[in-house]
C-alpha cells in the first residue's frame, strides 16, 4: 500500500537539505525599431510623377510565442535578465537567423546560454507576413498603381526580458 505525504510536509522535510522552491518565471518581448521613426507612410497618399520602389516591412502574425523561463535558472535568483537579438525573417515569413543585437545594452551572465535557447525555441514558432519590395507607378487620378511585388528578407531587433517572482525557502529561520 502506497502512502502519500502532503506537499507542505514534503517541502518542510526537503527544505532543510535543498530548500523548497516557490519561484515562478516569466518572459516578455518588444520589437526595437531604430530605423523606422514615426508611422509608416501610406502609399495610397503618395503623389508620384515617376515610378518608384517602396519597402513594406514584415508584419508579425499573432500570437507570437513567449519564451519559457529556463527551469534550470529559476532557483538561482539571477534577477531580471534582458537579452537583445537581431532576427532575420526570410522571404517565406519564417525566422532564418538569430544573432546578438547591438540595438540594446545587455549585461552578460553565466546563464545566457539557457536564456538564448529559450529565445531560439520561441522564435522557431514565429511567423510573419513577409517583407516586400513593391514597384509603384503614378496614376492620373488617385493612388499609385502597384506594378509588382517581391517578397524579401528583412532583419530587426527584439528585446527579451526574463523576470522571476516568489521566493525560495532555505529551511533556515529568518533573523
Residue 149 is placed in which grid cell? 511585388
Q: What 8-state DSSP symbol labels residue 122?
A: H
CA–CA dist 76, 164 (Å, integer): 10
For 52, 74, 78, 118, the CA distances from 83, given in Å and listed in that order, are 38, 16, 14, 11
Cα 60–Cα 162–Cα 167 angle in degrees, nearest 5: 145
pLDDT greater than 90 at residue 48: no
- State the Rg of the chain over Cα: 24
Question: Between the CA atoms of 84, 85, 89 and 93, what dihedral angle is there, to the nearest 10 degrees?
Answer: -60
The model carries a pTM of 0.74
Query: What is the model's pLDDT at position 36?
Result: 53
Residue 116 is placed in which grid cell? 538564448
pLDDT-above-70 percentage for the chain: 74
Question: What is the domain partition of the chain in residue ranges?
Answer: 23-36+43-166
- Give tens-digit pLDDT for 158-173: 999 999 986 554 444 4
Which CATH architecture fits 23-36+43-166?
2-Layer Sandwich (3.30)
What does the mean pLDDT of the chain come to? 80
* Cβ proximity of 103 and 84 under 8 Å: yes
pLDDT greater than 70 at residue 41: no
- Give tens-digit pLDDT for 56-77: 899 999 999 999 999 999 888 8
Query: What is the model's pLDDT at position 119?
Result: 97
- Give tens-digit pLDDT for 129-159: 999 999 988 888 878 888 999 999 999 999 9
Supply φ then ψ for residue 67, to 5 degrees. Answer: -60, 150
Q: How confident is the model at residue 108 (pLDDT cuts 50, 70, 90)?
A: confident
Query: What is the model's pLDDT at position 32?
Result: 87
Amino acid at each position: 500500500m502506497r502512502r502519500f505525504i502532503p506537499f507542505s510536509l514534503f517541502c518542510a522535510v526537503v527544505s532543510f537539505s535543498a530548500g523548497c522552491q516557490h519561484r515562478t518565471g516569466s518572459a516578455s518581448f518588444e520589437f526595437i525599431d531604430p530605423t523606422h521613426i514615426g508611422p509608416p507612410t501610406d502609399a495610397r497618399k503618395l503623389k508620384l510623377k515617376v515610378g518608384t520602389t517602396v519597402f513594406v516591412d514584415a508584419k508579425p502574425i499573432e500570437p507570437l510565442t513567449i519564451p519559457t523561463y529556463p527551469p534550470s535558472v529559476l532557483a538561482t535568483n539571477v534577477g531580471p535578465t534582458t537579452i537583445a537579438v537581431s532576427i532575420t525573417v526570410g522571404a517565406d515569413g519564417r525566422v532564418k537567423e538569430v544573432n546578438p543585437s547591438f540595438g540594446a545594452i545587455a549585461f552578460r551572465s553565466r546563464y545566457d546560454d539557457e536564456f538564448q535557447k529559450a529565445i531560439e525555441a520561441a522564435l522557431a514558432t514565429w511567423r510573419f507576413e513577409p517583407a516586400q519590395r513593391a514597384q509603384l507607378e503614378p496614376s492620373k487620378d488617385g493612388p499609385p498603381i502597384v506594378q509588382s511585388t517581391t517578397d524579401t528578407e528583412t532583419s530587426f531587433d527584439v528585446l527579451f526580458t526574463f523576470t522571476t517572482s516568489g521566493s525560495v525557502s532555505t529551511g533556515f529561520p529568518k533573523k
